[in-house]
A and B are shown apart, each in its own frame.
Chain A
Amino acid sequence: MSALLGRLRAIPSWQVTLGLALLALGFLVAAQFQSEGPRIRYTTQERPPLVETALDLTRRQDQLKARIIELSDRIRELENSAAQDDELVASLDRQLTEVRTAAGLVELVGPGVVLQIEDASGPIPPDAAPGDYRVSAADLRDLVSELWLAGAEAIAVNGERITPTTAAIDIGSSILVNSAYLAPPYQASAIGPDDLYDRLTASPGFVRLVQDRVDQFGLRLSFAVLEDVVVPAYSGTIRLVDLRAAASNAP
């Protein structure tokens, strides 16, 4: 026993330290291998592709989510502006209808009169001018003017709407109105107040027209007072080359 103790004492202290350290090292190495064991197996075989795939899919999902947010934002913007556009279009359409109505580009129906004037039917005296016995553009213009002065708000002659630029001129034996050649009988359809006919026939200008053209040359004038006179829309083209808007104070 004393011999054993003597031998132990003979072992230098650094060898004891080293021995203990190596013992601890052995434990650690064993522990390390144990914990690394399964990981090494996956890392070297299945795990990296799986992990990489999962990471790729996660990144892809983030991109898709961001794209959805981006698209949704853009769609909401467009839907808002489209709604505003729809309102604007509707508002402009209403204005356009109103303006077109005022301009004679829309058919009107309302109370009024239809006057018909035709050439004289009797024989023309040999020394007379035949033109005096025919309805002229001037006759139509006079008739239309008298209707306006009596309060008419819309007039058409043989279906041709009288517009701001309508002229009536003689072309041979027919009358040109709005680029349309009209032939007798001529019918002027006018919409206006209920007493349009009374006002017309009371007008000195109309009385003179009747005296000068009907009484003197035999032109035939007839009329009808109607509840629903139809005045068609102007069907020609609006040709504006020189006229520009002067200011933007549109109604």
Chain B
Amino acid sequence: MRSLRSQFAVTAVATILGFLLVLQFRAQGAAPGLAALSAQDLTTLIANLNTRNEQLAAEVARLDVRLRDLQAGGTQSQVSLAAIREDLDRVRRWAGLVPGVGRGVVVSVAGSVSADAVNDLLNELRASGAEAIAIEEVRILDGDVVASLPGGLAVRNAALADRFSISAVGDPAALTASLTRVGGIIGRIQVAEPEVSITVVAADRVEMPATTRPLRPAYGKPRV
């Protein structure tokens, strides 16, 4: 019995002893980092952190402004890019620098027609709103005139056969009405040149070849 009591007492003391030992080791092991610093050191550290954070926040604000500026500028340049591309596309089509397509009319000419008559037809087509004109495979722009050569008619060094067609893109009804009205251009040509036959047919799809002429002027200097 005495032996049991003594064992119990030793066990209790050893348990408390072990507990205190662990506590002591942990207290001494928890030193690293902020916990190891004194209040004064911590205060200095906080002041440094504050200063540095203020500098960083100022840098963030500056970068934010720069980013917003860039984003606004990016939108602007995208808008101007789209505008330039649209303009480029429109002028190219108009100036015959790209092949075109659209509804319009096909004017078939047969017989020995005069160059003046064909040029008058072209003028009438333009006056009635034709957006693009071609004679056979030649795109007709300003400067492209049907010429009367000893061997027959020619346009842009291409000889025209006795039968040829003039294609024009534009409102088919307006173009047809303008060409075929009483006293209109076809009527006048046929009075002056009775052997010439001219027919106008509306078409859903008329193809326009691109011009082959050079882009840059050879003699004039552009004043942009």
Contact = CB atoms under 8 A, between A and B. Distances in A.
A152 B144 CA distance: 11
A107 B102 contact: no
Nearest to B55: A64
B215 interface: yes
A18 B90 contact: no
A152 B143 contact: yes
Chain B: interface secondary structure? helix
Contacts, number: 285
A109 B221 contact: yes
A68 B100 contact: no
A246 B99 CA distance: 5
A45 to B, nearest CB: 9
Interface string A148-162: 110011110000001
Interface residues of B, number: 100
Nearest to A81: B74
Nearest to A51: B34
B9 A149 contact: no
Contacts of B144: 148
Interface of B: 2-3, 5-7, 9-10, 13-14, 16-17, 20-21, 23-24, 27-28, 34-35, 39, 42-43, 45-46, 49-50, 52-53, 56-57, 59-60, 63-64, 66-67, 70-71, 73-74, 77-78, 80-81, 84-85, 87-104, 116, 119-120, 123-124, 126-127, 130-132, 140-145, 147-148, 169-171, 207-208, 210, 213-224
Query: Which 5 pairs between the two chains have the least Cβ-Cβ distance?
Result: A14-B6, A108-B220, A103-B95, A110-B220, A167-B127
9 contacts: A18-B13, A54-B49, A64-B56, A78-B74, A110-B220, A153-B143, A153-B217, A242-B131, A244-B101
